[in-house]
Structure 1
Amino acid sequence: MSIVVFCLGLLSLTGGVLAEIWEFGVDAPGSMVIDHREGDFSLFEKTKEIKLKVPRCYVMEYIRVAVHNPVSTPVVRYNKSLHIVSIAYKALQYSASSYMIIAKAARKPGCYKKIDLDLRYGEKHYL
């Protein structure tokens, strides 16, 4: 009996500290954090889709998803074309959990120069 109590106590203590980690892409040294999201799953919630914000002139390079749930492991996917992270639990997985998403991107080379030319910032204007 004492072993069961010890295991349950250990599970409750490590549940808030340990997390399952999913990584998509490569964490390049020159990339910068462009989006950071945190959220919770209620007891009966099964699926969440989180749309990441990607600024103009940036290319998504790396996404890190951490899910804190000591009882069950979700399925985590990343849709590269729509920039959506989906976290889904199976039918009989009922437990509350939390998630944290960090998205990093790199600047597209020459993109700001093209925008400046389109907006005619490089031209001289006379009054």
Structure 2
Amino acid sequence: MDNEKFQELMLEHFGKVLKELSDVKESQTRMEADMTTMKSDIADLKESQARMQQDIIRIENDFGKKIDILFYDWRETQKAFNDEIRQELKVLSTKVEALQMESSKHDREIRELYLVNMAKNKKKE
């Protein structure tokens, strides 16, 4: 192989190596750009996660307070309702007692009238 062919062959190989090296550099540049984008996306995700955690804490606190308020309100409402029912039961109990006394009085009067009628009927016979 003469010197000129050798130089051409070497230049051809160097050209291929340089092209490959250039392709590798381009790929590396694209990968670096992709990594930068991924880092930015990860930072955005971390920021979103931090905001979401704050929102969750705020929601838990707000709903916890609201649930406590609703429970307290329900309990107070139930107590008031129970007190009203007790009052009404007392009134009804008093009325029932009065009616029982009146009914007993009427029963006695009916018995007395019956006995009087029986006595009158026996006298007529």
Fold shared, TM-score > 0.5 on shorter chain? no
TM-score, length-scaled by structure 2: 0.25
Higher strand content, 1 or 2? 1
Q: Give 1 or 2 for the bigger CA radius of gyration.
A: 2
Higher helix content, 1 or 2? 2
TM-score, length-scaled by structure 1: 0.25
